[in-house]
Structure 1
Amino acid sequence: MKSLSTNGFAWFITISMLCLLANSQLTTNFYSNSCPNLFSIVRKQVLNAVKTETRMAASLLRLHFHDCFVNGCDASVLLDGSDGEKTALPNNNSARGFEVVDAIKTAVESSCSGIVSCADILAIAARDSVLLSGGPSWKVLLGRRDGLVANQTGANSMLPGPFEPVDNITLKFQAVGLNLTDVVSLSGAHTIGRASCATFGNRLFNFSGTNAPDSTLLDANMVSGLQNLCPVNGDSSRVTDLDWNSTDLFDNHYFQNLINGRGILESDQFLYSSDQAVSTTRSIVELYSNNTKLFFNDFANSMIKMGNIQPLTGSAGEIRKNCRVVNS
Structure 2
Amino acid sequence: MRAVLVRQPGDASQLYIGECPTPTPKDTQILVKVKCFCLNRMDINQRQGAYPPPPGASEILGVEVSGIVESVGQSVTKFQPGDAVFGLMGGGGYAEYAVMEQELAMPKPDALSFQQAAAIPETWFTAYQALFFVLGLKAGEDILIHAGASGVGIAAIQLAKQAGANRIFVTAGSDEKTKFCESLGATRGINYKTEDWAAVIAQETANKGVNATVDFVGKDYFDKNIATLAIDGRMVLLAFLSGAVLDGVNIAPLLKKRLRVEGSALRSRSLEYQTRLRDAIYKHVVEEHFAKPSESYKLFIDKEFDWKDIAEAHRTMESNQTMGKLVVKVT
- Where is the strand percentage greater, Structure 1 or Structure 2? 2
| TM superposition score normalised by structure 1 | 0.27
**Higher RCO (CA < 8 A, seq sep 6+):** 1
- Where is the helix percentage greater, Structure 1 or Structure 2? 1
| TM superposition score normalised by structure 2 | 0.27
